[in-house]
A = this chain, B = another copy of it.
Amino acid sequence: MPSSDLIALRDIVRQFAEERDWQQFHTPKNLAMALSVEVAELVEHFQWLKTGEQEELDDVRRTGVRHELADSLVYLIRLADRLDVDLYDAVIEKMQLNREKYPADKVRGQSRKYDQY
């Protein structure tokens, strides 16, 4: 059985917010906005690259990407925490739905949206 990294991180992020008395700012709405801003900072690294594969990233950019991935996960975990969503369970559940929406036999090698098959 996997141990829970996600719960460990949730507790770290929660403590960080509480020590700064930031709960007042951390409404779900504000956290969703903050998450979208962090993800855009991630997107910014890739916007003029061809594919963003590792060989296109120099060390500075690789570190930047790593930090933005982390910040994005921090806000995602914090938002889930504020809404009492267990992220592990939510992904397991959603992946089952995704398997039904995108049966491997039907969609193999194609990128259309599920309602376009």
Task: Identify the A interface with B (CB < 8 A).
Answer: 2-9, 12-13, 16, 19-22, 24-25, 27-30, 32-37, 39-54, 57, 62, 65-67, 69-74, 76, 79-80, 83-85, 87-88, 90-95, 97-99, 102, 104, 107-109, 111
Contact = CB atoms under 8 A, between A and B. Distances in A.
A24 B109 CA distance: 8
Contact of A3 (B5, B28, B29, B42): B5
A87 B72 CA distance: 10
Nearest to A28: B52
Nearest to A65: B83
Contacts of A46: 28-29, 32-33
